[in-house]
Structure 1
């Protein structure tokens, strides 16, 4: 197998000359080998030896500021959240060992779904074991063979996988392009089922969608609308309900998808909706029916966190201040950013290429700062990005430290 890495033009084969099923990954294997051969630390194998707070961990034996965790509201160390998880662990044990439709619905699962209904002021909520499964399950179930899904080309992998699993006709359009979206909708045959899938915040660049205009266009063409608010729930909007709330079109959206692994600070996914037939999804959605439900301690932490996020206006205001400060500081230092203005808690710094991006990532780590290195093919236009995700628990002093770390690392890596 070593030979396949060093000589990708001579793929490893099994007996009889049949190509190995791993041969398709040879270019990626070679890219990784080339990156590591340059002497940089593997940016995709970092181990956090100890997590001290939502914003600091021990990595490689040294204290490191965390700027790549999506822990937007800093709920992972909230005392009430932790206490709720410990109590549920004592009262209900470590896991359910079953599906929600069999033995896997505990009181805590109902409680967290009610918390989501209260948070969004909607009638129905359905909790999945991960955010990925929420998109996979909802999209593949409501849009099937003969239906059409119109989606932004920069949609998350879980959205694309949900489309593939449901076997609907998939019609992508140029990122955040309202006119392109409407052109696609016009071409769909009369009478066909239509679902428009959008995201509030796009996680690679940190930019937001023009949801109000897009939702209006989708409604005009008779489409149902699903908005993934994974990166805006808890933070954006007067009540933290996301970009749809902030742009005053939440009531026109049919399905909101979200996750517990970002602002909520634990793990899991969900869908909320006002559709009167929504509850049938519990019997027909395969990633919900055929997956073990979340452990009681997880839903207890999620429920407590969601209810606290209802009263987190001060945290939201501080996070916006952090975003504005970091965006301005990095822009003034000469870095090329993914957005002209701060639009979310994500600030992406565009790198010239993967090799220099990895060198910059490593230089930041040596400074004591962790960010995400995002690379092709996951990124738009094959860009290499250093993706920063701010936290409401980052102090103003930490944000200034971060700006200084970027300046020093950028100079050493030859980026600025």
Structure 2
């Protein structure tokens, strides 16, 4: 008999046990957790649309017209004209021929990669890619070759070593979810062209934020016509749910026939799709939101660095403050919560051993006054933890 309790105790001993934090209010700059009003610095609600009145009105209107559920998978009774409208508008937004919407971002990556690749393929994967990418690669049966994080020199060496001129794919996050850095897409695309490989970019954290029109990391580098597979989610800047793939029409049609997580999953509910459509309209019409977001994120990074911390200066709303040990990250997070600031401790296996961190994420709707207080409290908590540690020694 497997001893679950023993394993759980082992996780507690390593400070890797996880509990759920239940929110009692909307994901605004301030929310309520455990009955306490806290400054929310951990949400993927980058553009602040989760509680936008236009988004709520779109959901209410659609529920009144279509009801609350989709009633089946996309291939049976679950596809609505709203799904078709969103897919057409996402394809135009991403400057591709076609797009297909899945129920979640995880299902999008797992279903797409396992549908496209097979044991005859080799997939080159950044070491810090999202877990859904890794799972999709493994399910495909393809040879998985992991290259050093954002290291195009290592990628090129491994392409020369493992690519046998057969079918191959390079996959990378656009913006990495735990580090906030941006992939070197121009160099990756260059290598893919030189070695006849396809490219896939998971742009979950770049869509709605980067690029002249907010369409993401690919557009940020002006590579719209050179990246083969663009993946994105509707649950970050879009403040909705679901994921999608954008690319050539023939590839999208193939995915519709082959991706099991598309075929066997209940479709996103109509009101969820209406929310996504409303978000897309706001993103396109209100560029000042992402401008304000990135300015605040850069300011926050600069303040941390100016005060002795070391955080990467990539222009994204995700700001990792590495502290090393899981125990230290937990202490820091708990102390900040006592100061009415919620920043989660990110620990293995989400991040590599020894790189536990506080993951700050900025929203366009944050106020500089609140961000300044967060910096001050972060500095004070760090100082207190260090002093306590020195006293114990």
TM-score (norm 1): 0.89
- Equivalent in 327, 331, 337 of residue 301 of structure 2: 327
- For the 8 Å contact 2:246–2:252, the answer to whether it is kept is no
Q: Tell me which residue corresponds to 1:377.
A: 349
CA deviation digits over 1:125-171, x for unaligned, max 9? 11000000110011111111211111111111000000111111111
Matched, 1:32 2:12: yes
User: Against the structure 1 CA distance between its residues 414 and 204, is the aligned structure 2 distance closer, same or farther, given a 3 Å change threshold?
Assistant: same
Q: Tell me which residue corresponds to 1:237.
A: 211
| Separation in structure 2 between the aligned mates of residue 219 and residue 275 of structure 1, nearest angstrom | 20
| Separation in structure 1 between the aligned mates of residue 338 and residue 224 of structure 2, nearest angstrom | 43
Q: How does 1:291-302 map to 2 (within 5 A)?
A: 291-302=265-276
Q: Tell me which residue corresponds to 1:251.
A: 225
CA deviation digits over 1:325-348, x for unaligned, max 9? 1111122222332x1x24311000
- For the 8 Å contact 1:56–1:65, the answer to whether it is kept is yes
Deviation at 1:22?
Answer: 4.1
Matched, 1:391 2:356: no
Structure 1: runs of 5 or more not aligned: 1-13, 15-19, 37-41
Q: How big is the alpha-carbon RMSD for the aligned residues of Structure 1 and Structure 2?
A: 1.9
Matched, 1:48 2:20: no
Deviation at 1:374?
Answer: 0.7
Q: How does 1:109-124 map to 2 (within 5 A)?
A: 109-124=83-98
- Equivalent in 137, 140, 143 of residue 111 of structure 2: 137
- For the 8 Å contact 1:73–1:391, the answer to whether it is kept is yes
- For the 8 Å contact 1:101–1:283, the answer to whether it is kept is no
- For the 8 Å contact 1:228–1:257, the answer to whether it is kept is yes
Q: Tell me which residue corresponds to 2:373.
A: 401
Q: Tell me which residue corresponds to 2:318.
A: 346
Deviation at 1:407?
Answer: 2.0
Matched, 1:214 2:194: no
TM-score (norm 2): 0.94
Structure 2: runs of 5 or more not aligned: 389-393
- For the 8 Å contact 1:43–1:361, the answer to whether it is kept is no
User: Against the structure 1 CA distance between its residues 357 and 240, is the aligned structure 2 distance closer, same or farther, given a 3 Å change threshold?
Assistant: same
Q: How does 1:170-209 map to 2 (within 5 A)?
A: 170-209=144-183
CA deviation digits over 1:330-369, x for unaligned, max 9? 22222332x1x24311000011311111110001111111
CA deviation digits over 1:48-98, x for unaligned, max 9? 1222x5211011222111110111111111211111111111111111121
SS at match of 2:99: strand
SS at match of 2:204: coil
